[in-house]
Amino acid sequence: MQINILAGGPTALWSSDLFDTPGLWIGADRGAWRLYEHHVPMSLAVGDFDSLAPDELQILESHLKTNEVIHVKAEKDETDTELALMYAQAQNPDEINIFGATGGRLDHLLSNLWLLADPVFEKIIEKTKFIDDMNIVSYLTAGLKTVNKVPGTKYLGFMPLTTVSNFKIIDAKYPLTLTNNVNKMWSSNEFLNDVVHVSFDAGIIMVTQTRDKA
């Protein structure tokens, strides 16, 4: 089962075929309103909905069943996207894709990208991706791992989210061996073929596949 989460970030980085993506949809805050506007069925709308006008929230709530809306207080520890991801994880999906989570406020972006470092999400680290029209962000746990090239992207990057040991980029354009953890973004690497292998002994690494803006 695939679950897609639409967050409330700017629409500028939406792909043109966003709503053709298969799977169940969850709307996080204004993302739920945008799913409604585009006539996309959703299994859940979650958030404090502070970005919606009162009449928009009323329309959304009347459109969905009571158990399909989780309306939380604005004063909370979790972000709206985080709450949506918690619900998605509880469904035991094979894959989770998060859209609309980039291109806006920097604090929102960093909060979103670092969600998978939280131990509460340890079961879905390698199942979760953040996707927009220029970037695909995925995550790896320790071991010898294969990264498959996403069509249309050019650049490959790696960023430790937690303490990582013995990190190796094995067969990319620019190989790398780190004995000790270095908390920096190893960006602008490239594929030589359609796969790159990496290995590390402990921790979580964020993987970015990106392209320049057309």
Topology annotation, domain 1-133: Rossmann fold (3.40.50)
Dihedral Cα 119, 132, 91, 72, nearest 10 deg: 80
The b/e string for 43-66 (b: 16+ C-beta within 10 A; e otherwise) is bbbbbbbeebeeebbeebbeebee
- 166 backbone φψ class: left, alpha, beta (φ>0; ψ -120 to 50): left
- 1-133 shares its CATH topology with 134-214: yes
User: What's the predicted TM-score (pTM) here?
Assistant: 0.94
Report pLDDT digits (tens) over 41-88: 999 999 989 889 899 989 998 888 877 988 887 767 788 999 999 999
Q: For the residues 168-193, what does the mean pLDDT come to?
A: 93
Residues 6+ apart with CB under 8 A from 179: 165, 166
107: phi then psi, degrees, rounded to nearest 5:
-65, -35
Under the banding of pLDDT at 50, 70 and 90, the label for residue 201 is: very high
- Domain assignments of the chain as residue spans, ordered by start: 1-133, 134-214
**Confidence (pLDDT) at 77:** 72
Query: Are 155 and 209 spatial neighbours (Cβ–Cβ below 8 Å)?
Result: yes
Distance CA 195, CA 183 (A): 24
112: phi then psi, degrees, rounded to nearest 5:
-65, -50
4: three-class secondary structure by DSSP? strand
Report pLDDT digits (tens) over 100-159: 999 888 998 999 999 999 999 999 999 999 999 999 999 999 999 999 999 999 999 999
Class for domain 134-214, per CATH? alpha beta
**Confidence (pLDDT) at 19:** 94
Query: Are 101 and 130 spatial neighbours (Cβ–Cβ below 8 Å)?
Result: yes
**Confidence (pLDDT) at 142:** 97
The C-alpha angle 130, 133, 135, rounded to 5 degrees, equals: 50
Is the model's pLDDT at 214 over the cut of 90?
no
